[in-house]
Chain A
């Protein structure tokens, strides 16, 4: 039996992460493992600590307690304790972040091509023609008209801006992508297109993803596993279809039974 799976060690090992803002709890005692090619959804209502957890894992926020082990190309490192330059390098070359608000993830007054090329150049690619070719290629992959390469993102629609953020992140071939409500500001039809695009890219590139969302339908389509958060704690976790079809915790049952079915 052929094993395509990179099965030996998890890409990310999160060990009882807590983040306190003074006496207030951001998130508390959360742990999980993420394997190559896996998508993890973090769900829960606003204020439940989803984004705090995501920011702790993605190296953007220092957790108060716990550890984040990341199996980088150069070996396993503790993202919380690694020297700053090493952490930065890993974040720039192996990780990507797609923000809820495209303005946080894009340079709005730099051309689409420039937005995509920026990370390439930061990672040492200097040949202008190559940068531009890669940018064109990625515009096509995320279904943006290549003629828009010299336009700035502030002339793009919301859905296009989100796709441009994805291209900007994926161009350097990261192994893991962090997403904070990537579809929440979009129309349903545009949402479906983005989800479909993400599904394809995850399979094609064997990408891992951690995605925060309050939309359970989105997790059903994209995530292999779920963590359900409430008041900073993980009240339930497991396979996505198991958590949604046979929820155990009262709060998860409430969430699932509150979904409107069109």
Chain B
């Protein structure tokens, strides 16, 4: 089976220059292969680097050494040392990411926030809007909130906006960082459905799911992340 992401010999340390030159190692010679159609759950104690791995995959954190190969548009590209222009292109077409927090842009209405990933692909507002409306309705965001900026929304509402934004476009690979974290059971179920639909459409997933049941229902494989020995920091 062909792979979508190949992490090879990944090393990552954080160097805190302003805090006494502290060095925090997170990954040493880490490997992971994500196959096409596969859904991998990252497991391990809090602070072991699960979210860090997703951020490294997405190019949000800088790779120390090693490779992160991504299949993009029929090519294989290395995220390590990739030009920012290329990383943006990968994010636009190949890799989606739902973080735990929505970074809100002042004044931009929720529905526009949700439509953005389609609009940057060149989809017209006329085509993008109905798709955003379907997702917002499914995720039980009241219609009166659609035209408001999510700045003032509750944590759960913001998270659902985040989910809608993450799933409005389809990506070959999705990175999910606790997508159901601040949601009630009903909305959690909806999010699980949405993720399952993406999986059935051929999206491969790497995710962090703290809820055991949700993890079992979504993941086809578990990957345990081991703490590094001299790892003595809370990062």
Contacts and interface: CB of A to CB of B under 8 A. Distances in A.
B60 A242 contact: yes
Interface string A196-238: 1001000100000000000000001100110000000000001
A166 to B, nearest CB: 16
Contacts of B122: 2, 4
Contacts of B15: 248
A192 interface: yes
B93 interface: yes
A239 B87 contact: yes
B93 A1 contact: yes
Contacts of B61: 242, 245-246
Nearest to B21: A250
Interface residues of B, number: 27
Contacts of B88: 38, 224, 239
A173 B16 CA distance: 45
B16 A253 contact: yes
Interface residues of A, number: 31
Interface string B32-58: 000000000000000000000001000
A185 B88 CA distance: 31
A192 B55 contact: no
Nearest to A224: B88
Contacts of B210: none
A178 interface: no
B18 A246 contact: no
B107 A196 contact: yes
A118 B51 CA distance: 53
Contacts of B108: 196, 199
Given A2-B122, A242-B61, A250-B17, A221 B107 contact: no
Contact of B62 (A192, A225, A238): A238
A219 to B, nearest CB: 13
A38 to B, nearest CB: 7
B119 A203 contact: yes
B60 A245 contact: yes
B73 interface: yes
Nearest to B121: A4
B107 A238 contact: no
B143 interface: no
Nearest to A197: B107
Contact of B105 (A10, A199, A224): A199
A195 B104 CA distance: 13
Contacts of A220: 103
B121 A246 contact: no
5 interchain residue pairs of minimum CB distance:
A4-B122, A250-B17, A192-B106, A246-B61, A239-B84
Interface of B: 14-18, 55, 59-62, 73, 83-85, 87-89, 93, 103, 105-108, 119-122
Given A245-B61, A246-B62, A254-B17, 6 more contacts: A2-B122, A196-B105, A239-B87, A246-B60, A246-B61, A254-B18
29 contacts: A1-B73, A4-B122, A10-B85, A33-B83, A33-B85, A35-B85, A38-B88, A192-B106, A192-B107, A195-B106, A196-B107, A196-B108, A220-B103, A225-B84, A239-B59, A239-B84, A242-B59, A245-B55, A245-B61, A246-B14, A246-B60, A246-B61, A248-B62, A250-B17, A250-B18, A253-B17, A253-B18, A254-B17, A254-B18
